[in-house]
Structure 1
Amino acid sequence: MRHGNKVNHLGRTDSHRKAMLANMASSLILHKRITTTLAKAKALRTYVEPLLTKSKNDTTHSRRVVFSKLQNKEVITVLFREVAEKIANRPGGYTRIIKLGNRLGDNASMALIELVDFNTVYGVEAKAEKKTTRRRGSSKAKKAAPAAEEVVAEEKVEEVTPEVAESNEEGTEEAK
């Protein structure tokens, strides 16, 4: 009987599931975000968040505990150097799951799981630029624009006029 065992088996054996979650956790730490199915993302969250908490305390014991789960030296160095600095002040909730929709092949619900502190989109608040023009003001702008064009045209005519006059004088002298 499975009383109290609430782990999602994900249709895999125990060893396969552990290896898959370790690989996904390594990819998440290296790339800061991965796309997977919603069920795997939820399982990965419960797997990786305790490892991230362990990385905040950089001791030999915590490194060995995390290495026993992930089995990848490069990932451990990235986790304890880069990731641990960013999440040092965060009390928990290191990952974010964003639902994406269904996959075309088998209609599985997909999700994006990412490390919260490494996201550039949500961290920066987007400032909405306020429109300064209104419908009423557009007619005034249209009336002001032709007046400006007339001034520019008059300046061009003044610049061209002396040259034209000189060429006309030379042309009349040659004719004589």
Structure 2
Amino acid sequence: MTEFPLPRAVWGVALEQFVGPGMVAPAFGVDGRSSDYDLFREAPWELAPAWTSPDGRHAVHLVADADWEPPTSVLLETEGGTCVGFYAGGELWIDEDRRGAGLSTPLILCLVARLGKATYDTRSGLGFSPAGYAAHAAAHRIAVERAVAAGMRVPAEVRAEAASRSVPAASYSGAPRRT
């Protein structure tokens, strides 16, 4: 499926409610190629994808069971099944050569839709790298814009906030799907 979901847990709240009172600093960056994240590269990905890019080159797979805590979305290249990104517990990482293509938005939105809420406790805040925060802000803005376009009842203050951050949509996009 090339469309990604539009979870109310994203478009129904202001950005700060979605990401929490997070701190932004380079120290919060994630190195997804470190051995700490080998489980994403070694997992058996027999599950049907939650999202596939329009060009068919990338797919988001969701894993949420007792063996995978926290629940995770993983971005795979469809040719060969290589892990090129993930989103787990608020940690977001995409291979450097795939950044800037809008791939973080489906990673974030697919997992939030599956869980029905943010993937972390937003009350206590979270540390974001500048790029990680920008990815969350972009996913929020895109979800709000698409929810408005689909006729969903987006709160006026959320629409206004997202409009103040409006930029062209990411290159990998999907038609809105209500969740």
TM over 0.5: no
TM, length-normalised to structure 1: 0.25
TM, length-normalised to structure 2: 0.25
Which one scores higher on RCO, CA 8 angstroms, separation ≥ 6?
2
Structure number, greater radius of gyration? 1
* Structure with greater strand share of residues: 2
* Structure with greater helix share of residues: 1
